[in-house]
Structure formats: structure tokens, C-alpha cells
A and B are shown apart, each in its own frame.
Chain A
Amino acid sequence: MNKNIILYAAILIFGLAAPFIFPAFKVQLSILCVLIILAITWNIQGGEMGYNSFGNILFYGLGMYLCASVQVGMFFPLAEWTESGGEKTFVHTPAQFFQGMAAGLVVASVVPCVVAGLIGYAILGLRGHYFAICTLGLGVAAGEISGGIEIIGAGQGFTTPPFPNVGGLEARGEFFYLLSFIALVLTFIAVRSVYSTRFKLILNAIRDNEDKAEAMGIQTMKYKIIGWMISAFFCGLAGGIMGGLVGYIDSTDVAFDGREMGVFMVLMAILGGKGTLWGPVIGATVFHIFKEGFWTFFLGWQYVALGVLIVVIVIYFPEGIMGWLREKYPNKFGEVVDEADRKAQVELK
């Protein structure tokens, strides 16, 4: 236990100090935080509950649009803002910017959560690959439809309010890094405390055998919806932050970007090891470092590399880093290994 506290304290201090140690990577570090949040949220229903969703991008994009719309709409007419396409006809004062951001983030996390609750009953009745394809359809449909709505910019995109210049101080990077890091810490604490309750066991029971879980008297639908709502809440929050960070929202390339973010979150959770607390965190970090470090070598060929990466990870590495560690050092994970049994299994192979 003591070791854990030291570990968490070290990570916290490192996280807070990171933008000052690596000032050139502030934006990258903020994106890393958002990616970790996305991987953790995907892992709640993808890894723990066994409901592999391609559609969590729906909540992410929804949060992104909502946060920006509230931030603008609280003070200025939204339609004229998007019409002007980011021309500086309206300027947020610092107070307006931060108030709008705060309200926007609240809306951006609550509304996707409610949406998940509303559609959850219908969608979560589907299982396995039907659920996966259905959520894939939801995500793409949301992108296509939002690309046709005029008030949020339709095809030409939506420029989020620029960061105000407070007393000649350029603190945009620090602000968004702190915001995303705090969101990450909140998400991690929330998910960790959820995972230490009976709720996690119920989710695992649903993953392992839903019919039996139901036969044991668990109201599986209720818990599935709650699990999805938790996931959607933090997904929307991450989307809201990312919208402000990127500064420009496009329907299919930034917000409902199923080809990038939507796959990234699945991939990161699988790479780290789904169904573990630390897996998504490690997976997202490794993935982001790999992506940013090597993307420049594949200039223009990123998506080809991404496609190959997906296939390789899925085929050769489906258990992820945590799964691999678990196989290698079972003692550290509290598993008891029967040496004779292991030998017998090796012989069987």
C-alpha cells in the first residue's frame, strides 16, 4: 500500500511538473492525457464489460461540439459565429472564456452521459459483433449528420474561441495541459474507485457469461447502462477539452473521427491489455510515443502504418502489454502457479 502511495505521488508530481520540464511538448502531453482518458473510458465497457464498441467516438464528438457551442452560445449568437468562420467579429473576454469553458465542459460531459443512458437500453440489448457494428454505424451516422447541420458549421467546420491573452501572458499550452491532466486524474480516481467495488465484478460477470450473470439475479441491463454512462461521461469531457485544444472542429475529421480517434481508443486499450486498470494508461502512452516518434518517418504513410499496426497488434498481441506481463510474472499479479500443471500444459502443446 505504501509503495502505491509513493508511486501515485511520484506520477502526480511528475504530471504537474511535466509542462515545465518539457515546454516544447505541452500540446503533445495534453493530447496524451486526452488519449489516456479515451483508452480508460473505452476499457470500462470494452474490456471490463466485454461490449466492444466502435461508437464511443459519438460521445467524444458530441462533447466536443457541445462544449464549443455552449462556450460561444452563452455570449454570442452561435449561427453568426459559425457563419463568420472564425473571423474575429466576436471576442471573448478572459472571464467569458473561462466561464464558458467551465459551463461547456459540464454540458459536454453530462449530455453524452444522458444520451448514453437513453440509447443504452436499445443498443446494449445487442451482443457481440452486432453491438460492434451497430455502434460503428452510430458513430459514422453522427459524423455524417453533423456535417449537414448549418448552425454548427456544417462542412466548413467550427472554430472554437481563441484563448484570451490574460495580461500579456501566453499560457494557452499550460492551461490546456493542466485542464486535461486534472480531467485525467479525475477519470483515473473515479474509475479506480468504481473498480474497487462490486460493480466491477458485475461487469466482469457480464463479460464472462451474461446469461449466467442474469440467472444469478443480476439486472444486467441496468449495470450495462450504468457502465456505458460512466464511459460516456468521461469520453464527452475528453472531447470538450480536445475541442478547445485543437481550436477547430470538423464533423468527420476532428469530432466524429472514427478512422482516427475511434480506432485509437480501441487499439490503445488492446495494446495495453484490456480489462486491467493500468493497461489503457500504459497502452495509450506507448501508442502515443510510437505515433509521434515514428509518424514523421512515415510521412504521408501514417495511415498505412496504422493499418499494419492494427492488424499486427490484433493478430499477434491480443492480450496486450499487461497480459504479456501477467503471463511472464504471474506472481506479481497474485496468481498462484502450479509448476506441475504448467509443465503438463507445455507437454500437451
Chain B
Amino acid sequence: MDFMVFQYPMITVQACLDGILLGVLFALIAYGMALQWGVMNIINIAQGDLVILGGYIAYFMYLYGIHPAWGVIVSPFIMYFVGVGIYKLVINKVVDRDLFISILATFGISILFMQLMNFAFGADVVLANSGYGTTFLFDSNVVLPNSKIFSAFVSIVFAICLVIYMKKSKLGRAIRATAQNARAAKILGVDTEKVYAATFGINAALCGVAGALISITFTIHPYMGLPYTIRSFMIVIVAGLGNLPGVALSGMGLGVFEEFADYILGTEFRIGAVFLLLVLILVYRRFKLSRKREYLK
């Protein structure tokens, strides 16, 4: 237990800034999850493992002497095809089935990915060094690595591009139509199968971007996927499907919460705190809804 937070206001500022920059990344992953959840009604437990896989792509570019920031461009391209591949192999067989089936199937994919990454890349915690240096604020009481600022900026750019793409392009309109009513979209000539594949691909590509940024900013490890899934799930249920500003805000909120949990409870309880927060949020919403004799749908 460390109550330094309350004695030194600068630590609070540091934690808030760190949390917000981290939260933007979470929001990007959560946006992908909200997209596939809304369109295909699937909860993808392998979301976090897609993120980590994207991170390894950037890390390998770094190992071969290419600046890891280019991973932000390369990783989504590769991840898009990984996503479409997963869709064609597994997800298209569970789309219209019970949600639990999709949870369990993606859980299987998650275990598979975790282990394959463990074999391919080893069990070490790795980091792609971007060499961006650091920024000092407030008489160097607050230290911000430039890579964090870069990653938050890139995520915002990608999120804005995606929103515009979903609004303007033909595929984006088809995806939104399918999300509203798949059957009606089919009648009007939308190939929903293709839309589903593209949605899953876009989701995987977003995970790829986020993963590349995480490999620059933080560290990646084959088994670190599940917390990212849980975080994005949590952000989506707090914000609601299709509520973009909400996703961004709750993502930042979660980031700040995590930084404070890190300072106050200690790093070993950080992941535990995230998972407990998920349980608390779900239970809180359940009690709130049960007053109206409703339940979370």
C-alpha cells in the first residue's frame, strides 16, 4: 500500500495523464469489439490475443531493423487477413448460434493463439524500442514518454478515419445496415456473409494497430491477451453498443482507474483490480436494472 498519491499532487497528474493516454488505446480495441458485437452478435474472447499478435508483428519489424512505428501501417494489413481467415474457419459457423457457443469457441481460439505465439516468439516479455525520447512537464515532475503521446495520437487518427469510413463508404453503410437488421439488409441485396467477414477483418486490423502501438509503448507477452479482452468488454458494456464518445470516455476512465490502482494497491494487484472492476460494474448494472424488473441484454 502506497499513499504517495495523496501527498504529492504531481503523482496524481502523472497517473491521470498516463491513464488517459493508455485509455485511448483501450478505447480503440473496445471500438473493434463493439463493432463485431453490434454487427455479428459475437463476443470475441480472442480479441486480446489478436492485439498481442499485432504487437509481435511490429516487434519483428523492429528486430529486422525497420522502425516499429511502421508496424502501425503493416500490422493492420496482415491482421485483416488473419481476421478474415479466422472468420472463414470458425466464426461463420457460430454466428447465428447461442452466444455461449461463440464465447467458448473464441476461448479455444484464444488458447490456441496464446500457445502458438509462445512457441513462435518465446515466453519473454518484449518491447520494441521506438527511440522517441521523453517529454518533461511541470519542472520535470511529470514524465511522459513521447511514444505514449505518439500512440494516443495515432489511435485517435485511426478511430476518426474509421468513423468516417463507416459513414461514407459503401462497405461501411452495408455494415451498419447489417447491424440494424441483417435480414432486411439481405433482402436489399447486401451480401451479409461478406459483411461479416469484413467486420471481423476490420476488428482484427484495429487490434493490429493497437497491438503495434502497445509493443512500442508498453510490453507484450504471449499470455497478456485476456486482460485486453476483459478491458474492451468492460468499456463496451459501460458505454453501450454504438456509442462512440462513450467508448472513448470510458476507455480513458478505465485507463485512469488502472493507473491509480497501480499506485495505491501495487502492481501485483493491477490485473486483479481490472477483473474485479468488471464484476462490480456488472453487478451494479444488474441491481440498477432489477429495480425495473429488467436484466442486462
Contact = CB atoms under 8 A, between A and B. Distances in A.
A137 B119 CA distance: 27
B275 interface: yes
Which of A129, A266, A306 has most B Cβ within 10 Å? A129
Contacts of A125: 283, 286-287, 290, 295
B161 interface: no
Per DSSP, chain A at the interface is: helix
Which of A125, A136, A137, A306 has most B Cβ within 10 Å? A137
A134 interface: yes
A344 B279 CA distance: 48
A126 B100 contact: no
Contacts of B226: 140
Nearest to B286: A125
Contacts of A315: 90, 93-94, 101, 105
A166 B101 CA distance: 50
A54 B279 CA distance: 13
B295 A126 contact: yes
B282 A141 contact: no
B115 A129 contact: no
Given A144-B272, A145-B269, A148-B272, A310 B111 contact: yes
A145 B94 contact: no
B187 interface: no
B266 A148 contact: yes
Contacts, number: 130
Which of A122, A301, A311 has most B Cβ within 10 Å? A311
B103 interface: yes
B230 A140 contact: yes
Given A140-B230, A318-B101, A130 B108 contact: no
A315 B101 CA distance: 8
B112 interface: yes
A148 B268 contact: yes
A127 B271 CA distance: 24
Nearest to A310: B108
Interface string A120-154: 00110111111011101110110011011000000
Contact of A126 (B107, B115, B118, B286): B286
Contact of A308 (B107, B108, B287, B290): B108
Contacts of A314: 94, 101, 104-105, 108
A300 B107 CA distance: 20
Interface residues of B, number: 44
A277 to B, nearest CB: 21
B278 A134 contact: yes
Interface in A258-315: 259, 263, 266, 270, 300-301, 303-304, 306-311, 314-315
Contacts of A127: 295-297
A109 interface: no
A308 B268 contact: no
Nearest to B276: A141
Contacts of A140: 226, 230, 271-272, 275
Given A132-B100, A137-B279, A308 B295 contact: no
Interface string B214-244: 0000000000001000100100010000000
Interface string B86-107: 0000100110010111011101
A208 B220 CA distance: 43
Nearest to A123: B283
Nearest to A141: B275
A128 B99 contact: yes
B275 A137 contact: yes
A133 B111 contact: no
Given A134-B279, A148-B269, A129 B103 contact: yes
B63 interface: no
Given A310-B107, A311-B105, A122 B276 contact: no
A52 interface: yes
A141 B279 contact: yes
Interface string B107-145: 111111111101100000000000000000000000000
B177 interface: no
Interface in B260-287: 266, 268-269, 271-272, 275-276, 278-279, 282-283, 286-287
Nearest to A144: B272
A140 B108 CA distance: 17
Interface string A49-82: 0001010000000000000000000000000000
Interface of B: 43, 90, 93-94, 97, 99-101, 103-105, 107-116, 118-119, 226, 230, 233, 237, 266, 268-269, 271-272, 275-276, 278-279, 282-283, 286-287, 290, 295-297
11 contacts: A122-B286, A129-B43, A138-B279, A140-B271, A141-B276, A145-B269, A148-B268, A270-B104, A306-B111, A308-B108, A318-B97
Instruction: List 3 A-B pairs, minimum CB-CB distance, nearest first.
Output: A307-B112, A310-B108, A144-B272
Given A307-B109, A311-B90, 5 more contacts: A127-B296, A129-B99, A301-B119, A303-B114, A307-B115
